[in-house]
Structure 1
Amino acid sequence: MKKILPVLIILIVLVVSAAIMLGVKFQKTIDWEESFNETSNKPYGVSVLYKELPNLFTPNKVRTVYHQPASYLKAHKADGFGDHEAKGSFIIIGNSNYLEASSIDALLNFVHTGNTLFVSDYVFPQKIHDTLNFDIEYIKNEIDSTSYLSLKHFDIPDIKIDKNVGDNYFSRFDKTTCDALGYSKINYKHVNFIKIPFGEGTVFLHTEPKAFTNYNILKENRFRYIEGVLSHLPNSDLYFDSYSKIQTGYDGNVEKQSNLSWFLDQTSFKWAWYTAILFGILFMIFNAKRRQRIVKTIRPLQNTTVGFVETVSNLYFETQNHKNLVQKKVTYFLEKIRTDYNMDTSTLDESFIKKLASKSDKNIEDVKKIVDYINWLNSKNEFFEENLIKLNRHIESFYAK
């Protein structure tokens, strides 16, 4: 041990010195990527807007959509499997190019039935252009990197958008039915915010999503412009389109980022963390051999059934493995149906529903609800806590009557 001690001291000094030097000298580069991520605190994330939406639309609910609008709106129709019927305003900030044709149709149908769609992006999917009959053009900022935004119906000073090499604007739209609500100015004023009636609802299109980002909302009085833009939306429930689906794929399989990732982005904490890990490893290495073996304590056998159940339940709760739990509950429920009523559960169709209702002496509508919900769950790949809770309520209701 005496021979190893000097080497250990030298190693510790080197690690600490490197951590201090890098922590002092290394200056983190600002990430100016325009992600429009509602969880990002970077300049062009939209976390500030996202956190303020409940205050702007109080007392209505603000819900975050982690799936393609087509699947979400289908599940939350009047006859869908969601926990409510989707009504209100659907808002998309940037990244609208991910929208599939089916989702665009679903959003337009959502508007047609009396709801609202708000999209702020530089360009929009061609299907939206063709359906709503408008064109967009780009003007380059040849003087500086600044443009000025204003609203038609709000008496507020023009706000400045810097770091802007150019503007997209509406070069053509039907002025007999559409209203110009806002303008952007580079060299001359042009329309960048319009209102389009569609069916019984309204579509709002805006071509400067950077205005909604953290950098611009927190700078000077630019937040007043955002308040003015969003004040055009009705005071109703809001559905905020999440950036997470773009990050993890268009299928909506959302994987949450580790909570440690933000801390590891901070240089000083990162090196402190790595140093602590290194010291922990060294401690384990030099204390692996003890001077005397531990005397084993032999304890009487205990009934660990309750402890096992608590451990397993805590494991599922901590890992949030809703998919595994949903599949197990469905499997156990169908196994009980096979055991209690001697029925084949391989095909859950109308014939199965009628037969189960007859054998179990249950109301056929109640049986249809749980069977249809199980069929819907079997078609999904991603599950949330609300799916598990709703399935459990269906099963408890089936056995309670």
Structure 2
Amino acid sequence: MKKALPIILVLTAIIIVGVFFMGVKVTRTVDWEESFNEKSNKPYGTSIFYKELNNLFKNRKIRTIYHQPDSYLQANSEDGYGDHTAKGNYIIIGNTDYLSEESIDELLNFVDNGNTLFLSDYVFPQKFHDTLDVSIDYLNNEKDSITYHSLKYLDIKNIKIDRSAFMQYFSYFDSINHSVLGHSKTIESFANFIKVPFGEGQVFLHTEPKVFTNYNVLKNNRYKYVEGIISYLPDDDIYFDSYTKMQTRYTANVEKESNLSWFLQQPAFKWAWYTAIIFGILFMIFNAKRRQRIIKIIKPLQNTTVGFVKTVSNLYLETQDYKNIVDKKITYFLERIRTDYHINTTVLDDAFLTKLSAKTGKKKEDIKPLINYINWLRSKNEFFEENLIKLNRQIEAFYTK
């Protein structure tokens, strides 16, 4: 080992010098993909704007929506099974083409009931154009890729936005009923931010979603333009769309990359990783032969049943597979009924309730809500966390009463 020490030191010096010179030449690439993702810290993510919503709407509830709007709004309606009735401002930034026809109808119904919808995108689904009576066109702006934005009624004028090869604007709208709140221009000025009354509520349409991204919020005074836009919204609860961002995240090529892809894009982490691998190989080479074999420690067998159950349940919860958990809860509950009370559980009708009440000694009216809820869940294909919690509480109450 002493004879090998000089070789190790020489190899270490060579590696360190090589890493230094190779690391100097590496330039970091910037991902300019327009994801508009509220969890992304990349230039065109919206994590900073998302975090600032709590300061812009103080003492208001900020909810992040991970489902199609129709599913969420129907569940959280007056006749729904959600934990509240959805009221306030629904904000969608970018990727509105992922909205289904049913979601568009439900969003418009949400507005019609006296709420507010804010959409910022380069172009909107055709159903919005037809229903709200608007049209969008664009101008090529490849010469300098700079546009200037202003807000009406506010002292916010000529906010410069770069990297804008195209400028979208409203080529047609109802000038009598619709209100123009902002303009964008290169040489000539056009309306790019309007308010559209709809039923008891209102829809805000904006055609430059890039202004809400990290790159623009942090650059110069552009944050004032973003604050000005948001100031037009009522001071109410916020429903922030994340569903459309999840679709771009799932369909992007990034999902094919390994877990080390981000680290390998950072020069410091990359060469630290390579250096650790090289030193690990050298360590194994010079320590292949040991003076004494390792004495293996034999641990006693452990009961891993509880750990296995926790692992499986955490897997389902992390993937938000509520349907699978609900089905298993119902299956295990009915199996226990068959085993303990010898009752056929094929049909959960009034006759079943009568037998179960007689054999358990529980009142029929105490059991009926649980059985009715199980029958209702069996008729549904999509479940939420609230459904699972409610089912679990009712099953626990059945055994404790």
Q: 2:218 corresponds to which residue?
A: 218
Q: Is the 8 A contact 1:356 1:367 kept in 2?
A: no
Q: What secondary structure is seen at the aligned counterpart in 1 of 2:272? A: helix
What's 1:28 paired with?
28
Alpha-carbon distance between aligned partners in 1 of 2:400 and 2:258, rounded to the nearest angstrom: 41
Q: Secondary structure at the match of 2:240?
A: strand
Per-residue CA deviation, residues 347-376 of structure 1 (Å, 9 max, x unaligned), is xxxx62534443242343343234424654
Alignment match of 1:369 (pick from 373, 378, 387)? 373
Match of 2:360 in 1: none
| Superimposed CA distance per residue, residues 309-365 of structure 1 (whole angstroms, 9 cap, x where no aligned partner) | 55335534765365365554333223123324444545xxxx625344432423433
Instruction: Tell me whether 223-232 or 135-144 shows the greater mean CA deviation.
Output: 135-144
Distance in 1 of aligned mates of 2:195 and 2:240: 19
SS in 1 for 2:180: strand
1:145-184 aligned at under 5 Å gives the runs 145-184=145-184
SS at 2:168 equivalent: strand
Q: Point out where structure 1 has 5 or more consecutive residues left out of the alignment.
A: none
Give 1:56's aligned residue. Answer: 56
Q: In 2 relative to 1, CA 25–105 (structure 1 residues): closer, same or farther, beyond 3 Å?
A: same
Report the CA distance between 1:118 and its aligned residue: 0.7
Contact 1:120 1:208 in 2 (8 A): yes
Partner of 1:352: 348
In the TM superposition, what are the counterparts of 1:2-401 in structure 2 within 5 Å? Answer: 15-141=15-141, 144-242=144-242, 243-248=245-250, 262-280=262-280, 283=283, 287=287, 290-295=290-295, 304-305=302-303, 308-312=304-308, 315-316=311-312, 319=315, 320=318, 323=321, 325-345=325-345, 352-358=348-354, 359-360=356-357, 361=364, 362-373=366-377, 375-376=379-380, 379-380=381-382, 388-401=388-401
After TM superposition, give the deviation of residue 94 of structure 1 in Å: 0.9
Q: Deviations over 1:81-130 (max 9, x none)?
A: 43333222111111111112122122112222222111101111111111
312-321 vs 71-80, greater mean Cα deviation: 312-321
Q: In 2, Cα distance between the equivalents of 1:222 and 1:88?
A: 26
C-alpha separation between the residues in 2 aligned to 1:28 and 1:369?
A: 55
Q: Residues of 1 paired with 2:241 and 2:32: CA distance?
A: 21
Could you tell me how far apart the structure 1 residues matched to 2:349 and 2:14 are? 72
* Equivalenced residues, count: 384
Q: Which amino acid aligns with 2:27?
A: Q
Q: Residue 220 of structure 2 aligns to which amino acid in structure 1?
A: E
Secondary structure at the aligned position of 2:138 is classed as strand
TM-score, length basis structure 1? 0.83
Change (3 A) 1:342 1:133: farther
Distance in 1 (CA, whole Å) between partners of 2:48 and 2:151 is: 22
Q: Cα 1:316–1:369, aligned 2, differ >3 Å: closer, same or farther?
A: same
2:114 match: secondary structure: coil
Gaps of 5+ in 2: 358-363
| Aligned equivalents of 2:377, 2:237: Cα separation in 1 | 26
Q: 1:101 corresponds to which letter in structure 2? A: E
TM-aligned CA deviation for residue 28 of structure 1:
0.8
Instruction: Return the TM-score normalized by structure 2.
Output: 0.83
Query: What percent identity do the matched residue pairs reach?
Result: 55
* Distance of 2:393 and 2:190 partners within structure 1: 55
